[in-house]
Amino acid sequence: MSTRATTGQRAAAGTADYLDQRTGVGTAVKGFARKIFPDHWSFLLGEIALYSFVILILSGFFLTMFFVPSMTLIVYEGPLAAMNGVEMSEAFASTLDLSFEVTGGLLMRQIHHWAALLFMAAIVTHMMRVFFTGAFRKPREINWVVGFVLMILGLAAGFTGYSLPDDVLSGNGLRITDGVVKSIPVVGSYMSYFIFGGEFPGEHIIPRLFTLHILLIPGLILALIGLHLFLVVLHKHTHFPGPGRTQRNVVGFPLFPVYVAKAGGFFFIVFGVLALMAGTMTINPVWNYGPYDPSPVAAGAQPDWYMLFLEGGLRLMPGATEFVIAGYTLSLNVLIPAVVIPGLLFTALAAYPFIEAFATGDKREHHLLDRPRNAPVRTGIGVAILTAFFILLLAGANDLIATHFAMSLNDITYIFRVLFFVAPVVAFWATKRLCLGLQRKDRELVLHGHETGRIVRFADGEYIEVHKPLDEYERWIRVQHEPRRPLEILPEHDERGVRRKGYHRDALRARVSRFFYEDRIEPVTPAELAAAHSHGEHDALEGRPSSDGVPAEIASGPSVDARDR
């Protein structure tokens, strides 16, 4: 046993020596092996996206072995009675073949599609985590933009892949794309020809989408994932505030062995969950939709979930906004929901770190995350954007809402048209209030401690509930954040009455800053805590002078406990 182990060790040492002499890998291993990563479940959301992508590549490779990206029409023969003898493109036929006649092909196809949906879901959730905790602040703004571009590429990858089987559902999706592209002023018709190689649908679109889907887009995603991870390593991961965690350190566990096991293990968990889903739940049953033909369409015509917000926007927009100007048609009823609104939404998202940096005027590096409650306006903005997005998602499913909740399709559309404008405002206000309330709760806890349910009576007949003060670790989480106040700006005119240069920019900045930080709750200071203790009748009785009279504890019976609660 021991000799074998030594043999193994000797072999390992030999290999390491060989590699190091040729690559100097020792330096990298020394740097990386004990690199510290902080531990929090929400830091694994990005890993779900990363692992989904790896699984997409693995399962996608399997699929490319059998898929034929061709729009040539053939007559299909196969086991499914409803498809046997039907004329269809080779793309559709090969999709059926790889599903039904390649053992395990259906599983791989379903893993691939579930992984695509999961990829986008994980990206969005990961972005939410980064947004709400303020992880995008300096020095990570660039990485936020890289992540944002990855999300857009994810959308593109999903869209190009969704259309490949050449079925009725995705074909109508392409047709909608064609309609949207044609609505673009001046160049719309030509862009449609550019995409389809002539008139819709033509015979080029599937091969073109295939090349984009398996070569260009995954290549770009891979490159940007490399950059994304490189920047994560360069910046070192952010961590949540807590005792011992500062802007100048990172607290957690070493890459080797803990994170190799945890993060590596998580890859297999993601793969396992996707296999479980693909083994039990049908996804994108193209044999139900049938091969593409320009005539049919099926009720429930929707894209995958990550494109549903565009569909929702198109459904909500009233038609009255198409105009003819000097003989040229301007289809704002298509342009606004399909181009302008997503454009604004995405630009706002991409630019947010820079907007907030402008408002705070903060040039420092931030490695400690914010608790979302401590940034009420940011949290409110995030929830408002998500609310608008969610309303659009629901609007994209309005026909299903109508049938499943026995409502009128038309009423639902009218309601969503209003909600799209009202709900984000309400969500912003409610979230901001909720955050401020939670901050007050934090102050309350720090100043007065936990309720214990123990009621005592003093000699003078006064009843109080005993509170247990927080220990210093608990307290630190609630008081560690720095208060943020609106920026003060210099007056418009200097002392000699001359207008100051750059005043307007400053005034704008002050307005934005006021919007962000005017309503605020500041963390408890030691002085406040001391004051609360010195005069607080609610606090620990131990500190109370005995001259007040000896407190008589009466509340040990269950009846008082019940009343207290």
Partner 1 sequence: MKAIAARRHHRLAPVALLLLALLVTGGLYAALAPSAASASAPSEDDIAAGRALFQANCATCHGPSAEGREGAPSLIGVGAAAVDFQVSTGRMPMQMDGAQAMAKPPQFNAEETSQLAAYVASLGAGPAIPSAEQVDPSLGDAANGGALFRTNCAMCHGAIGKGGALSEGKYAPNLGPSTPTQIYEAMQTGPQSMPVFNDANLTPEEKRDIIAFLGEQDAGSPGGTDLGAIGPVGEGIWVWVVGMGLLIACAVWIGAKSS
Partner 2 sequence: MSNEHSSTDLTVSGAGTSPATFQDPGMPPHQERMADKDPAAAKRAERQVVVLFAVSVLGTVGMLLAYFLVPSGDTVESMRTSNLLLGLGLFLSMFGIGAAAVHWAKTLMSDHEQAEARHPQKSDPETRAAALAALEAGAQDSGIGRRGLLKGAVVSAVALAPLTFAVPLVGQVGGDWDVSKFRHTLWERGRRLVRDPSGDPIRAADVTIGSAYHVIPDGLREGEHATHWIEEKAKAVVLMVRMDPRDLTEAEDRRDWSYEGIVAYSKICTHVGCPVALYERQTHHLLCPCHQSTFDMADGAKVVFGPAKRPLPQLPITVDDEGYLVAQSDFTEPIGPSYWERLK
Q: Which of residues 329-358 bind partner 2 (CB under 8 A)?
A: 329-331, 333-334, 337-338
Binding pattern for the stretch 295-314 against partner 1, x by CB under 8 A and - elsewhere: xxxxxxxxxxxx-x------
Integer Cα distance of 125 and 271 in angstroms: 18
Q: Site for partner 1 (CB under 8 A): which residue of 59, 99, 163, 360?
A: 99
Interacting positions 196-255 with partner 1 (CB under 8 A): none
Answer with the entry of partner 1, partner 2, none that 64 interacts with (C-beta below 5 to 8 A by kind).
none
Residue 400 binding: pick among partner 1, partner 2, none (C-beta 5-8 Å cut-off by kind): partner 1
For residue 152, give both structure tokens. Answer: 């857009």
Token pair recorded at residue 1 = 């046993």
Which of partner 2, partner 1, none has residue 178 at its interface (CB below 5 to 8 Å by kind)? partner 2
The interface partner of residue 36, options being partner 2, partner 1, none and the CB cut-off 5 to 8 Å by kind, is partner 2
Q: Buried (b) or exposed (e) across 343-356, using 16+ Cβ within 10 A?
A: eebeeebbebbeeb
| From candidates 41, 325, 328, 526, binder to partner 1 by CB under 8 A | 41
Q: Does 125 bind partner 2 (CB under 8 A)?
A: no
Radius of gyration for the alpha carbons in the chain, expressed in angstroms and rounded = 30
Give CA–CA dist 513/40, Å, rounded: 31
For residues 129-168, which are near partner 1 according to CB under 8 A?
168
Return the closest-CA partner of residue 176 out of 297, 35, 271, 350: 297
* Residue whose C-alpha is closest to residue 266's, from 434, 122, 449, 453: 122
Find the DSSP H helices in 326-408: 332-335, 341-360, 376-396, 398-404
Distance CA 442, CA 423 (A): 28
Alpha carbons 164 and 501: distance in angstroms, whole number: 58
Give the helix/strand (H/E) hosting 77: none
In the list partner 2, partner 1, none, the entry touching 380 (Cβ below 5 to 8 angstroms by class) is none
| # residues near partner 2 by CB under 8 A | 133
Backbone angles phi, psi at 304, to 5 degrees: -60, 165
- Shortest CB 441 distance to partner 2, Å: 9
Q: Which of 6, 21, 84, 249 binds partner 1 (CB under 8 A)?
A: 84
Question: Exposed, middle or buried by CB within 10 Å (0-12, 13-18, 19+), for 251?
Answer: middle
Is 24 or 272 the residue whose CB approaches partner 2 more closely? 272
Minimum separation from the CB atom of position 275 to partner 1 (A): 12
Nearer to partner 2, 173 or 382 (CB): 173
Select from 52, 133, 172, 284 the one that contacts partner 2 (CB under 8 A): 172
DSSP 477-546: HHH-SPP--PPP---SB-TTSPBPTTHHHHHHHHHHHHHHHSS--PPPPHHHHHHHHHH-TTS-GGGS-G
If one asks whether residue 299 binds partner 2 (CB under 8 A), the answer comes out as: yes
Q: Judged by CB under 8 A, which stretch of 118-126, 331-339, 520-528, 535-543 contacts partner 1?
A: 118-126
Q: Which stretch binds partner 1 (CB under 8 A): 112-120, 133-141, 203-211, 428-436?
A: 112-120
Nearer to partner 2, 427 or 529 (CB): 529
Please state the closest distance from residue 124 (CB atom) to partner 1, in A. Answer: 9
